[in-house]
Amino acid sequence: LNIRKEGFADYIHKLENVVGRKFACADCVVSALDERLQFFVEMGCRASDHGLDYIPYVDTNAEKATAAFKKAMAGEALTKEEGDEYTTYVLLALGRLYKKYNVAMQLHYSCLRNVNEKMYRKLGPDTGYDMIAVTDCSATISSLLSKLTETGECPKVILYSLNPADFDMLGTLMGPFQDDEIPGKIQLGSAWWFCDTDDGMYQQMKTLARLGLLGNFIGMLTDSRSFLSYTRHELFRRLMCNLIGNWVENGQYPNDEKALKQIVEGISYYNAKRYFSL
């Protein structure tokens, strides 16, 4: 997806080696991703995860996407518009595939990476020199979902912004694209990275409760590369119960043990079980 990123062509060559053929066009990439996605679904995959600086959406087609792809593979620099044409095309194609195979589409965005050039040259990427970015993806995300919805091919989508200022926007963006496929089809993802603190988790849940439906939330996720990150689930559950408990004590929600049990157990386990068809 990150066609303007250094090393894109090498990454594509790895995909070519896996599927055993060369790519001449953007649809060749999509076909290979379809093939690999089917393999992962057979292995039990239930969710994708796309990390993008921002979510693009521009008018595009196979010809525009292929023109950008060929330039990138030839080592030529792409304009932002050309890059967005390719990325939008592939995102739409992937969205349709996720719908087809019942895979949730996760979108993470609004991170500004490797901002300290000296330390980036010394240590490389993902070494602690990233920050929150300020991006306005309200129109592009809604356009992406709208395009997929037109043909009934919008998958389950989980949206994460690293910028907590986006929470309210995302909280209202979800509503127009919910449908009867599954409760909470479009999700405001749990507090991520710099937001993954007690304040950030409270803010995310309060936003969802205020602008959506907290009872359909699929809860915390785990970065399973780190064993210690599993404790995040316990902290999340404690904060979630504390938040709801305070609402009950303040008279903002009925002290109905049966209803409260259903909400807490749903967010802790059953909603995710249903959402990911486990």
pLDDT digit string, tens, across residues 28-74:
999 999 999 999 999 999 999 999 999 999 999 999 999 999 999 99
Confidence of residue 227 (pLDDT cuts 50, 70, 90): confident
Triad 270, 103, 264: Cα angle to 5°: 15
Q: What is the DSSP pairing of strand 157-161 with strand 131-132?
A: unpaired
> What's residue 228's pLDDT?
74
pLDDT for 222? 79
User: pLDDT digits over 174-183, tens only?
Assistant: 999 999 999 9
| pLDDT mean over 155-172 | 97
The torsion defined by the Cα of 268, 270, 271 and 272, in degrees rounded to 10, comes to 80
DSSP code for 269: I
Q: Which region, left, alpha or beta, applies to residue 256 given φ > 0 means left and ψ of -120 to 50 means alpha?
A: beta
User: What confidence tens digit (pLDDT) does each residue in 228-272 have?
Assistant: 777 889 999 999 999 999 999 999 999 999 999 999 999 999 999
Q: Position of tokens 């393999």?
A: 39
Portion of the chain with pLDDT greater than 70, in percent? 99
Q: Tell me what the mean pLDDT of segment 146-168 comes to.
A: 97
How much is the pLDDT for 225?
Answer: 64
User: Cα angle at 157 between 150 and 108, to 5 degrees?
Assistant: 125
Please, what is the average pLDDT of the chain?
96
Tell me the per-residue pLDDT of 74-121, one tens digit each, with 9 for 90 and over.
999 999 999 999 999 999 999 999 999 999 999 999 999 999 999 999
Tally of CA atoms within 13 A in the half-sphere of 7 that contains its CB: 3
* Average pLDDT rounded to a whole number, residues 120-129: 93
Q: How far apart are CA 273 and CA 278, in angstroms?
A: 5
What is the tens place of the pLDDT at every residue in 68-78? 999 999 999 99
